Structure 1
Amino acid sequence: MNLASFQSAEWYQALSLIERLAAFRSCEERPRASETCDDAAEQRVREWREQRPFDQNGYWAQRLSLDGLSEDEFRHLMCESVAAVQERFTSPPEWLAELARAFSLSEQSKDEVFTLPEPLREKPVAGFLTLVEPLIKHGRRQLRAGVLRLTQHYAVMPFDPATVVDVLSINLLPKLLGMMSRTLILELNVARLQNLLEAETPEQRFACFVERLRRTDVALDLLREYAVLARRLNNAVRQWVAFSLEFLEHLCADWEELCAVFSPEAAPGVLVRVQGDAGDAHRDGRAVLIAEFASGFQVAYKPRSLAV
């Protein structure tokens, strides 16, 4: 990773309890919890044990057993510093390495233009997407590469390779916006109170805040502070790329049969719109999609078995 910011231990606060436990158990020498716990850490342990429903009916022991945790191991994980967690990793977690690659490539290709899709251009809050523009561009590059591979494998394309990434991006951006809007509204107010926004009106202050997010140092400082959010945003982009390519490949593979069964009289045309909010997401971001084609023909894509 080339960006120094990604060497910070703060990113490791986004590791799950299971991930931290696995790293802890891989150590040859494990310090005792009593050697690492200070008063604040002990208070965190007590707060966990005393909250409902863990304060009754053996639920606490049951919760620990779900993760295969002993009481002493849990105490240690609550007490150790994030720097100690980082030291156990010989290389960064894949999600962190991917995040670093996205920002590194963005630094190398600042001339790459990203334009908001039409439905979002009238929403001022869409400016918050500036924070993760490097991630969005990285995901779009990966999707374009996958589309190129499909064009080399299938003779007939039910979509336009030049526009399909834009068509599919419409489903990703509102999701990212929803994930981070509350946090950025809070940070906008913090920046205002710290007199970091040199503007007089609310609209001007918002524009100033969005412009600050274009600075790599500001964006990474914020993402590092909210490491769990940063990881979730990275995962959302990764899942979008994987699911989009899965959908397109199935569409290509089934296209001849789809046309023969559902549109035998006229060609459906190329894919022009994909509605991704037709059902709840599951299995790494998969969801029911409604695909619309140039002729108005629509088909539903359900990414799991239709069996009862």
Structure 2
Amino acid sequence: MKAIIYRDNGGPDVLRLVDRDLPVPGPGEVRVRVAVSGVNPADWQARAGAPMGFPEITPHLDGAGVVDAVGEGVDPGRAGERVWLFMAAAGRPTGTAAEFTVVPAEHAVPLPAGAGFDVGAALGVPALTAHRALTVAEDGPRRLRPGALDGRTVLAAGGAGAVGHAVIQLARWAGATVIGTVSGPEKARLATAAGAHHVVDYRADDPAAEIRRFAPDGIDIVAEVALGANLALDLAVLRTRGTISTYANDGGKPVELNVPQNMVLNTRLQFLVLYTAGPEARAAAAEDVANAVRDGALPVGEEHGLPLVRFPLDRTAAAHRAVQGGAVGKVLVDVPQ
């Protein structure tokens, strides 16, 4: 089979297309013929500098394809099942940038008939992160379903990004009023297409006043992508006992915390990353996301607010450069069938 591998940390040029033997699924595992591989910032960050752990790694956490073999203890009936994959390369050498990959069976989630492989490959890190961001508030909910966020207002910072896009879609599916912040008209168009009820340009004169116009009682949950840059704005619009769920600090600005201000607000500041969220939280997120996909709540494509930027497998290095360069939308790698 064809696979992308790297043997040392470094830039995109360390990625190589090679021939490898078909992997064999072990107990509790499935082998998947990959159709589309999704690329996330975590993938290039791992390639650039995370401890290797293995002599050779095939990158990418997310993807979609068809189960073609199962290991001991897995229902043989899963062979032929269309699935979406998450955390394929987490602590393992076999990610989705290959014609075949092997993952734990629970990391291969059935893909509903109405959802294509592009949708499946765009789930994983963005959708599970969004789910986590929306389910850590003190007042709940801990699970998402239609009606779970009725009466709540969610602020999706960076509403045109992959996680922001998933936050908008999942929050709206669960019944929240959703406000997205963006950096200009084009990204405002994308956040609106994703389903945001209101969109605010955070570079405007007084974005806090604009957000408060839509949410006079304050924001219940902020899903934050750039905590250092946006914390002052978040606190200016957060309701008492509200939650800021932060999954990144884009721009790298240091976080300066006004302790008395947060004490008065009873702010919950929740940091999150999937690797250490725990298996129960990840399993619950995967189940809820699968239900949202079944309901048609997580479409992709420019008309749904998430443009797809495609590369063939042999140009995976270019796909990594696109993600590192801040490509707007979801970067996908098409795997030859």
Give TM-score scaled by structure 2 length.
Answer: 0.22
Structure ID, larger Rg: 1
Give TM-score scaled by structure 1 length.
Answer: 0.23
Q: Which has the higher strand share?
A: 2
Q: Which has the higher helix share?
A: 1
